[in-house]
Amino acid sequence: MSKKMGAKKPDRYELGRVRDRITFLYLEHAKLNRQDSAIQVTDNRGIVYVPAAMISVLMLGPGVDVTHRAMELIGESGLGVVWVGEYGVRQYAYGRSLNHSSALLVAQASLVSNQRSRVIVARRMYQMRFPNDDVSKLTMQALRGKEGARVRHVYLEQSERTGVPWSRREYNPDDFDSGTPINKALTAAHQALYGLSYSVISALGASAGLGFVHTGHDLSFVYDFADLYKAEYSIPIAFEVASEHSDDPDIGSRTRLAMRDAFKDGKLLVRMVKDLKSLLGVTESDDEVETINLWDDRLGLQKFGVQYQELPAGDHT
């Protein structure tokens, strides 16, 4: 028998849990390959090796060349990938989830498919933003109005704190450089937060497209989830960067670095994991079960791997 080539696929216990990982790593003008269980990064300064299982999001900027073997490792490790365009435009991709349980995905699909439970989850999201108010009886229209007022207040508050003039949020996704410094900083900060949110959602096995407030987009739940943290992270950081570097033509890069610094202690990552499971009503023990069953509309879950006998014609009891 010929010797099997390539690195051994990592076992589950070798993969760091998403809450224990470094938040994200930004790379540009480099070649990515695979060396055992590490991503080999080569640029004009030399070679470094990045353990794939210790990173949550890999942000790939202009000039990045990725080999098939590197993508194979990224997929095996459940590492989120964010392709970063020159003008702040992102395209998202991700590997297989870290946990092989479908508990979160099943819970999410069940909750979003029922109008009553969908509203309950949406209210939970808004309640996280208004911890001192009871929003359990408010309609979605009332919640949107309350949230709109809150966000406007946050923008004005940050403008007063930093001295950055503020009128309104406006940006052209096809022309990043046409925006004002603060709007460019906000776009870059929100995109970094979207990347981290997307990575957590994907790594835990939930769906990025099944949103409770946003809908109709393949990233609807990413927008839902990231909105929980904008007032605390991306908005104040964007205003801080704009106040110090308004004349910097590369304000987007500066903002991403500032977001990285805010993420690096891992506290937000741990919080996101806890919040996601709480929103979907899934416990730690439920999420770690790795069993495969067969579904039956009358008998319930049936054991997988059994050679079942065909019932006689007409016998469907």
Binding residues: 147, 214, 227
Binding site for Mn(2+): residue ranges?
147, 214, 227
**Structural contact between residues 126 and 147, judged by C-beta atoms closer than 8 angstroms:** yes
Nearest-CA neighbor of 36 among 69, 2, 66?
Answer: 69
CA distance linking residue 38 with residue 22, whole number of Å: 14
Token pair for residue 287?
Answer: 């999420």
**Structural contact between residues 81 and 195, judged by C-beta atoms closer than 8 angstroms:** no
Which string of DSSP letters, residue by residue, matches 118-145?
HHHHHHHHHHHH-TTS--TT--HHHHHH
E strand segments, the chain: 22-27, 31-35, 38-43, 46-51, 55-60, 65-66, 80-84, 90-93, 293-294, 302-303
